[in-house]
A and B are shown apart, each in its own frame.
Chain A
Amino acid sequence: MTISEILTKIKDTSARAVVENSLKLAKDNQDYHALLSLTEGRALKRADEVDSGKISGKLAGVPFVVKDNFLAFGAPTTAASKILENFDAPLQATAVEKLEAEGAICIGKANLDAFAHGGSTENSAYGPTSNAYDKTRVAGGSSGGSAVVTALGVVPFALGSDTGGSIRQPASFNGVVGVKTSYGAVSRYGVVAMASSTDVIGSFATNVSDAEMITDIISGRDKNDMTTLPDFFTVQENVKPNQKIGLVKDFMTDDVDPEVRGAVNKYVEKLKLAGHTVEEVSLPMAEYALAIYYIIVPAELCSNLARYDGVRYGRRAEGVTTLSELYGKTRDLGFVTENKRRIMIGSYVLSSGYFDAYYQQAQKARTLLINEFNKLFETYDILIGPTAPTPAFKLGENTSDPIKMYLNDIMTVPTSLAGLPAISVPAGTNQAGLPIGVQLMGPMKSDASIFALAKSMENK
């Protein structure tokens, strides 16, 4: 259901009835394992406050779900890890606060790869989430749970975080809209940090207008997050006509699933019918993006995850005699293998002797990638390509080979490294009925015009 349909239902019945229904749907769909917890008590209390007129706003009574790396009241914030198993947030993420200020009601916290490290939600310390269309397949990730609850209609929208594709790829795997905002558009205050130079907050929704509305509410400068940009997002009502759109041919090679390419080509034809010009463009540095990403991101996350030490909060290992032992044992218990792998890669590339060859070289290569994007955006309004090289893969298919898993992000990491906005929109299914997503990517701060184009193409 869309947000406006939910609002009508609240008017016709009550916020309590709508929230109760949402909680029921969450319980009925437990076997997908999309949610780690429900915030039932708090949600119902807020629903009653909506019904009594105490809470109002654009989203009064509308239920939503947050990825469990957002600090939120009503249930622990685990980041799908054991180290934060019982962590009770002392504050709420700014994005959650802003939604609550508009009357929205958080009903639960969604599964993810532990600390958002992964592309399938199989790295959750609490077990994987199944795809909304095929329970033997992955939800995608890392925001897999948020995508699945939106696709199943448990809630009309959900929040996620995207460091290298963690919103867009699961959106494409589950047939919903997934938004990666421009870097700095949405406050990250109160969200568990992964890679500080690429982490962004965004949303999942069943249609573009809803995702646009959520972006409008959660974006903006936040004094608690010094990396947020001055307010720039405003909803753009009309789409700019006759746009020049670049089809990234590096994302359309023979290695990419033919049905995925077919879906993109179909979308391109519709763009042309709508009066836009589409030309093939080349982004040669895209080939290196994943290598850049897997140096920079581990480097940043190994610093960000240093704070999980069992001292100030979270789980602490028992039976240790020295501080060093406490750190080591706590982190062994608290992290999944993928967390450890990434932390250790980070430690490696930042080590003296390797720093220049890996980390510095990656940051320079990132400049070359950004230069290529900038050059393309001198001529083109928007770029288009697939969101992921395949539809959802089987559970367990890529778990034994981290590089194979990482390769799934090959089309989403370039924009993350450059901080650019991008959205994944549903573009039909393959013959087996699995959803395929098309990705629209724009220059820095062009979020509103990407929404406008995607909206104009919806239902065409």
Chain B
Amino acid sequence: MTQISRDDVLHLAQLSKLELADSEIDGLQIDISNILGYVEQLSKLDTTGVEPTYQVTGLGNVWRDDTVINYGISREDLLARSPKVVNFQIEVPKVL
């Protein structure tokens, strides 16, 4: 059965862009190990030659004309929802 180490938890958190509280790490380590242990039962199934199902309605790519659709929302409306806007641009801290 898959054992997830504390370092694995921290690595997964980093991949997921999540900072974890110290108090959460131990619990997540146990839960994630148990959940992965549970889902591993699928390895018993013989799926040789079986096609995967990514979606259920047989939908292919849906195309539309490359024109702007009016959704009835203005740029100002959307920008107003950002926590920090300067001169019609969203401000974030430095990347590096």
Taken together as a complex, chains A and B put the C-alpha atoms of A358 and B52 apart, in Å, by 12
A184 and B17 within 8 A (CB):
no
Partner of A323, one of B41, B42, B83, B95: B95
Q: Is A366 an interface residue (CB 8 A)?
A: yes
Chain B contacts for A365, CB-based, 8 A? 42, 45, 47
B54 and A363 within 8 A (CB):
yes
Chain B contacts for A313, CB-based, 8 A? 78, 81-83
A402 and B73 within 8 A (CB):
no
A315 and B94 within 8 A (CB):
no
Question: Given contacts A226-B62, A323-B92, A364-B50, is CB(A328)–CB(B19) below 8 Å?
Answer: yes
Chain A contacts for B38, CB-based, 8 A? 290-291, 294, 403
Question: Given contacts A291-B42, A348-B36, A367-B50, is CB(A340)–CB(B20) below 8 Å?
Answer: yes
Q: How large is the interface on B (under 10, 10 to 19, 20 to 34, 35 or more residues)?
A: 35 or more
- Most A CB contacts (10 A, CB to CB) among B17, B24, B41, B82 go to B17
A329 and B47 within 8 A (CB):
no
Mostly, the A contact residues are helix
B32 and A345 within 8 A (CB):
yes
Question: Given contacts A323-B95, A332-B20, A367-B52, is CB(A288)–CB(B15) below 8 Å?
Answer: no
Chain B contacts for A235, CB-based, 8 A? none
Tell me which residues from 234 to 290 in chain A have a Cβ below 8 Å from any Cβ of chain B: 288, 290
Instruction: Name the CB-closest residue of B to A315.
Output: B83
B50 and A368 within 8 A (CB):
yes
A291 and B92 within 8 A (CB):
no
Taken together as a complex, chains A and B put the C-alpha atoms of A419 and B9 apart, in Å, by 33
Tell me which residues from 381 to 397 in chain A have a Cβ below 8 Å from any Cβ of chain B: none
Partner of B32, one of A344, A361, A419: A344
Q: Is B51 an interface residue (CB 8 A)?
A: yes
B51 and A316 within 8 A (CB):
no
Question: Given contacts A291-B39, A344-B32, A365-B42, is CB(A360)–CB(B52) below 8 Å?
Answer: yes
B56 and A323 within 8 A (CB):
no
B81 and A316 within 8 A (CB):
no
B78 and A90 within 8 A (CB):
yes
A184 and B94 within 8 A (CB):
no
Q: Is B87 an interface residue (CB 8 A)?
A: no
Q: Is B53 an interface residue (CB 8 A)?
A: yes
Q: Is A231 an interface residue (CB 8 A)?
A: no
A332 and B19 within 8 A (CB):
yes
Tell me the smallest distance from the CB of A200 to a CB of chain B, in Å.
Answer: 11
A322 and B95 within 8 A (CB):
yes
Q: Is B71 an interface residue (CB 8 A)?
A: yes
B16 and A343 within 8 A (CB):
yes
Taken together as a complex, chains A and B put the C-alpha atoms of A90 and B54 apart, in Å, by 31
Q: What number of A residues sit within 8 Å (CB to CB) of B?
A: 69
Tell me which residues from 78 to 93 in chain A have a Cβ below 8 Å from any Cβ of chain B: 87-88, 90-91
B56 and A197 within 8 A (CB):
yes
Tell me the smallest distance from the CB of A193 to a CB of chain B, in Å.
Answer: 14
A288 and B95 within 8 A (CB):
no
Taken together as a complex, chains A and B put the C-alpha atoms of A316 and B92 apart, in Å, by 10
Chain A contacts for B19, CB-based, 8 A? 325, 328-329, 331-332
B53 and A366 within 8 A (CB):
yes
Taken together as a complex, chains A and B put the C-alpha atoms of A309 and B84 apart, in Å, by 13
Question: Given contacts A343-B16, A358-B39, A402-B35, is CB(A364)–CB(B51) below 8 Å?
Answer: yes
Tell me which residues from 306 to 360 in chain A have a Cβ below 8 Å from any Cβ of chain B: 306, 309-316, 320-329, 331-332, 335, 337, 340-341, 343-349, 351, 357-358, 360
Q: Is B57 an interface residue (CB 8 A)?
A: yes
B42 and A362 within 8 A (CB):
yes
Tell me which residues from 27 to 64 in chain A have a Cβ below 8 Å from any Cβ of chain B: none
Tell me the smallest distance from the CB of A196 to a CB of chain B, in Å.
Answer: 8
A227 and B43 within 8 A (CB):
no
Q: Is A302 an interface residue (CB 8 A)?
A: yes
Instruction: Name the CB-closest residue of B to A290.
Output: B38
Q: Is B66 an interface residue (CB 8 A)?
A: no
- What are 6 A-to-B residue pairs whose CB atoms are below 8 Å? A87-B81, A227-B59, A290-B38, A313-B82, A347-B12, A364-B45
Q: A331-B17, A340-B28, A347-B16 are in contact. List 16 more A-B contacts (CB 8 A).
A: A91-B72, A310-B83, A311-B92, A312-B82, A323-B95, A340-B16, A340-B20, A344-B13, A358-B42, A361-B43, A363-B53, A363-B54, A365-B45, A365-B47, A366-B53, A403-B38
